[in-house]
A and B are shown apart, each in its own frame.
Chain A
């Protein structure tokens, strides 16, 4: 059973600070990793994808991947109240069948 685990939170971060979200996964052969943001009552929105070890930056978001430790993280710099949402880590099953296994999500609240 492939698993994806996240800190459930809730995580509260002051506005302007860095929010750090963590995810671990059990399948060593996983090659792709995705972060989705889900506002309450809305659908998941893809915000980052990462495929190789190291950091990937996109605006205020940085994804970090360490395949040896089976760990992927998301950093949000200069946090804004609009970043308050649940963040979902997702890992595809395998090449040829990319059904996603989601973590339970981390609820993030940015405090003005």
Chain B
């Protein structure tokens, strides 16, 4: 299964864009990139996912490089409530079933 690498922590000023990078250099052609976040004592919350193309939803944008070896999650206008651990996850498919490989995540601290 492909693994991911993320910076352990990042800071962002409230109202500014937060850009969270992720490396997944061994990703295979049929593997998706998913982003989740987790606020203390809660379960991970799904944010966005993509295969090849850039994606956008009401929460964030996902930019995947053409070679698919890295991606960036963009929170366009970070708020204090976006302070959380962000996980970049690669979904691996093996013989019809799935498993997830989780990295250590990035602790994003949004400050006033």
Co-assembled chains A and B: no
Residues of B within 8 A of A (CB): none
